[in-house]
Structure 1
Amino acid sequence: MTKILLINAGSSSLKWQLVNMPAEHVIASGQVERLNLPGTIVKVEVGGKKSKEVVETLDEMTAIDRVLKRLITVGGVQSLDEVEAVGHRVVAGGTVFKGPVKLTPSRIDQLKKLSELAPLHNPLEVKCIELLAQKLSGVPQYAVFDSAYFHGLPEKTAIYGIPYEWTKKYQIRRYGEHGISHQYLANRAAEMLAKPLNELNLITMHLGSGASITAVKNGQPYDTSMGLTPVTGVMMGTRSGDVDPTLVPYLMKRLDLETPEVVLQELNASSGLLGVSGVSSDMRDLHEAAKHNKRAKLALEMFVNQVVKLVGAYYTEIGGADALVFAGGIGEKDPEIRQAIIDGLSILGIKIDTTLNEAGDTGPLQTEDSRAQILLIPTNEELAMARGVQQVMDKDK
């Protein structure tokens, strides 16, 4: 058995698991929510026992320190020396990394060079890798890439309407993100529907602070909402989602800027739910604020509308769907948003059972006469990551 520590650092949360492989036994797990926001939430589970505490604001680095300390204090391990490998979720692998890899100094340098493809994520993930290399000296580290799942997108959905020479010369394409999650969700949906994956059309929705939607046709990814970088698609916690590209030079002129970096930073870190509402990037805060704040209410309505628009487009694009899958922090925990999204898709004959939706249990949520099934599936990126790490370790034996 090999104890693998899995680190999944996102834009607003850090999830982790300590897993015994290849048995896939979770020894301990946890999540740090509301990173860089007041009232950071720290959750830990060991042996079915759960704990939760609210602490002062944690950033990604202090969160990792807390995770390592909790591993020992909650009984996950007696000593950090028991950790034999570390697996990291890395968002952007570009065309360089098409599957999981063992990390070396040269590969870490390559990850740094890919930061422009995921400016909120890759630099953070490299920091996590370097920090854990210090904290767990000598322990091999591995990267599992979100973008790898989308390497097989059909060219007609993968590339943009720009000069084809640019596409090839500069490797400009729709890389997509959350691929680890979307792949897990597709496989899990097939299990729940008791059908071969290659016979299914699915629309998987990973809705959280980062949000993306993927169309799966005959079991394979066919289209996805994120593009060259994770700023595109539906609006998110702090990311704008799709905007007219001429917005960048337009704002550069209005703000008297010589380079686009400031505008791009704002589109990534100060836009989306936060930018529209002026209140928060966290959906929980917005639900409360929307009772008396018109901008918070508008942000919620925009988010729902953009999800509905994309799901409707994908439903047509793949010729109908056997199931719609909700996952991610919002998709799994926010029945109000789920209800609003499905209500917006009523023209397609897709209907949600209000009682099942409010209960929020894993499994089907649709009514008996719904044209497509609606599944709530808690994503498990960490399990998919562990399998990817194990795959590389087995090859290296």
Structure 2
Amino acid sequence: MKILVLNSGSSSLKYQLLDMDSTTVLTTGLVERIGESIGAVRHKRFPGSPKEESFSYEMPIKDHAFGLTKVMDLIVAKDTGVLENISDVDAIGHRVVQGGDLFSQPMLVDDSVVEGIRKLIPLGPLHNPGHLAGIETARKLLPGVPNVVVFDTAFHQTMAPEAYRYAIPKEYYTELKIRRYGFHGTSHGYVAKQCAKLLGKPFSETSCITVHLGNGCSMDAVKNGKCIDTSMGLTPLGGLVMGTRCGDIDPAVIAFLASNKGLTAEEIDTILNKQSGLKGLCGYNDMRDIHARVSEGDADAELALKVFCRRVTQFIGQDLAVLGGCDAICFTAGIGENDAVVRQLACATLAPLGAVIDSDKNMHAPRGQAVEISAAGSPIKIFIIPTNEELEIATETLEVLRNQ
């Protein structure tokens, strides 16, 4: 079973082709700068040998249809491909960021699903139009191949109203659907399932905290295999401090900026999404740059690191309280998987709560592997678990098809 996973954005298209019989990646790549005068295609194939072959092309890419057509050509071309014919693709799995409260599970695409995603554009104006372009293009280019959509928000649809409702007038919830949705759900779901395997427990009996730390950051509280709380909200802006996003702040800051700086709502939105977070605190949004600046005595960089880690600790404590304890805390994504300093600082004060990190295990953890970094006897295990959203999308796509 060959499944093509697509993550279609407004001006980009990420793809990965997986052989689900062996859960191996055959090809992966990125089409970027769609609609600009000069676009680019980055393509890598894994032809069943240790040798990886990478290819890069620059060309005008007028729309998603042209970009996806180019991807399909690369998948079957003699020099770059791994399939004899594009008809060998058995299914296409699509990442969709915003499923609102219309979609609580992956769905086989039909016209009603497309219209549902279209109706949710007001809740996902930056993402859903690009997703729709990818879905509609795939349906036209491969009309006989089933398409499945997997929603970032679906994993969080098990939250109770007391977890997802905001304390604002009810009419804004009923009319505009303003509530907490949460994002990175595909990553959180995958990591939580892998946690259950590491613990040797059924997923339905596993309770854990999944800590997704990258340029975007979020955290989930998972109780008996169900998400009961998440850090992001109506949009990916809420919760933890991120690369360029502020995370939780006093909502009155928005009105204060508007009245004192004469800024519009759109300008403030840009500041909070693209100029804040780590970048706002010290001028850098890449944690590797921040560590380098800290080593050179940069006080702003040191503050940014401390603020970031403190917020992670606070949310772990919050989730522990909501869960009433758990089996494990799982770090994942770019920073979570690779930054031992962040993990150490984030867990430094958790020992009284039952999560004791082993500094040596943490600092010498092998990269790219699921590994335990908690001290012997720690009541709550601490894991590093590499995320794999593409594999999770492909797995859920396969499950949908098998249940038809």
TM-score, normalisation: structure 1: 0.84
Q: Which residue of 2 aligns with 1:392?
A: 400
Matches within 5 A, 1:41-52: 45-47=46-48, 49=50, 51=52
Whether the 8 Å contact between 2:155 and 2:189 is mirrored in structure 1 is: yes
Pick closer, same or farther for the CA change 1:364–1:64 going to 2, 3 Å: farther
Counterpart in the other structure of 2:381: 373
Deviation per CA, 1:20-48: give whole Å up to 9, x if none. Answer: 34x35324154669999xxx997654435
* Aligned counterpart, 1:156: 162
Q: Which residue of 1 aligns with 2:38?
A: none
- More deviation, 346-355/27-36: 27-36
2:17 corresponding residue in structure 1: 18
Q: What's the offset of the Cα at 1:353?
A: 2.3
C-alpha change, 1:128 and 1:373, in structure 2 (3 Å) is same
TM-superposed CA distance for 1:71, in Å, is 3.5
177, 187, 190: which is aligned to 1:184? 190
Pair 1:205 & 2:211 matched: yes
Offset from partner CA, 1:214-250 (integer Å, 9 cap, x none): 1112332111101111111101122221122222232
2:158 aligned counterpart, secondary structure: coil
Percentage identity across paired residues of the two chains: 38
Matches within 5 A, 1:1-397: 2-8=1-7, 16-21=15-20, 23=21, 25-30=23-28, 45-47=46-48, 49=50, 51=52, 71-72=75-76, 73-104=79-110, 107-129=113-135, 132=138, 139-257=145-263, 260-279=265-284, 281-292=285-296, 293-357=298-362, 358-360=364-366, 361-396=369-404
Q: CA deviation at 1:50?
A: 5.6
Could you say which structure has the larger radius of gyration?
2
Task: Structure 1: state its 5+ residue gaps.
Answer: none
Instruction: Measure how far apart 1:351 and its partner are.
Output: 2.2
Q: CA RMSD in A?
A: 3.6
Deviation at 1:68, TM superposition (A): 5.2
**2: CA distance between counterparts of 1:290 and 1:185?**
31
Residue 94 of structure 1, CA deviation: 0.3
* Partner secondary structure for residue 366 of structure 1: coil
Secondary structure in 1 matching 2:197: helix
**SS at 2:344 equivalent:** helix
> Is the contact between residue 305 and residue 344 of structure 1 (CA under 8 Å) also seen in structure 2?
no
| 1:290 aligned counterpart, secondary structure | helix
Structure 1 residue 267: Cα displacement: 1.9
Distance (Å, rounded) in 2 between the aligned partners of 1:90 and 1:66: 22
Aligned CA distance change for structure 1 residues 328 and 274 (closer, same or farther; 3 Å): same
Contact kept, 8 Å, 1:32 with 1:63, in 2: the verdict is no
Q: Could you say if the C-alpha distance between residues 146 and 346 of structure 1 is closer, same or farther in structure 2, counting changes exceeding 3 Å?
A: same
CA apart distance, 1:203: 0.6
Deviations along 1:293-348, one digit per CA (max 9) or x if unpaired, are 33333222221111111001111221112110111121112222212211142342
**Structure 2 unaligned runs (5+)?**
35-40
SS at match of 2:348: helix
Whole-Å separation in 1 of the counterparts to 2:257 and 2:231: 24
Contact 2:213 2:335 in 1 (8 A): yes
- TM-score, structure 2 length as denominator? 0.82
Q: Bigger shift: 386-395 or 325-334?
A: 386-395
Contact 2:358–2:375 (Cα < 8 Å) also in 1: yes
Q: Deviations over 1:2-23 (max 9, x none)?
A: 3211124689x976431234x3
